[in-house]
Amino acid sequence: MSVLNYQRISEFLRDVLPPVFLRKISGLFYGWRGNYSSWSDADKKCSGYNSTNILEKVIESSLMVKEGFIPYERDSMTFDKIEYSFPLLAGLMWIAGRNGGKLNVLDFGGSLGSSYFQNKLFLDSLIECNWCIVEQSHFVKVGNANFTDNNLRFFYSIDECLNLFDIDVILFSGVLGYLEKPYEILEDVFSKNLAYIIIDKTRFIEKGNDRLTIHKVAPWIYKAKYCAWFFNENNFLSRFNPKYDLIYDFEIPENINIRSKFKGFLFKKND
């Protein structure tokens, strides 16, 4: 079956089926499955992150955005209209407002600038904006060669970025759930004493322990399987105490085959 036919079937099912049935049916073909006891066990059944095919698709779609041929891309998929995350944008602009119209962002796992280009119209209105992406080495090399400009830069590590920029906020948009040790990354970030942390597009469950699954990507995006966490929300939020206060949270509508909430949070460091 072609990618286009897969996509048409998916769109049809979203229109006619209740969410509970949609979750079950979608899980038969793609989505999130399993409840693994260790990352190594799940990782043996996965593939994707280092695939040159995926990187090439991301480069192609990102360059189309940069050159103005399309307005928006996400996960290599192209769109004819920007899909704003207004809660995320509100948080960024609120921080900039508190900093006199200046904003330095560390976008952890930010691909080749998806969130930067998504919000560029608003970011360009600021007095100063530096958008720093920390990514895998092959993305950083491509980013430095093809996407770096006066506002957008790429780094191999958080420390490398912090050595050059006084970062106001670190953004984790859809990335924490795909890290082997997300809480270790958060603890490292806490130690940096950054003023703000934004969590965006992250999946949470209300009951039970954090759940480790395998995410089979929808075939019209690209062929890949990733290890993926569903975090227990209360446990996740407890990690920020007592160093950070929750300013607001927000929920993003989504129906997937595992009952969960797709959420984001803005945290401010305690004074």
Cα distance between residue 161 and residue 157, in whole Å: 7
3-state secondary structure of 73: strand
pLDDT of 143 strictly over 80: yes
For residue range 152-190, list pLDDT tens digits in order. Answer: 999 999 999 999 999 999 999 999 999 999 999 999 999
Closest alpha carbon to 13 in 35, 33, 31: 31
Q: Which two tokens stand for residue 24?
A: 């079950």
> Rounded to two decimals, what is the model's pTM?
0.87
What does the domain layout of the chain look like in residue ranges? 3-269
> Please, are residues 230 and 32 in contact by the beta-carbon 8 Å criterion?
yes
For residue range 28-73, list pLDDT tens digits in order. Answer: 568 999 999 999 999 999 976 656 678 888 999 999 999 999 998 8
Please tell me the CATH code under which domain 3-269 is placed: 3.40.50.150
Which position has the token pair 């984790």?
172
Q: Which residues of 87-121 are buried (b: 16+ CB within 10 A; e: fewer)?
A: bbbebbbbbbeebeebbbbbbbbbbbbbbbbbbbe
Closest alpha carbon to 194 in 89, 103, 88: 103
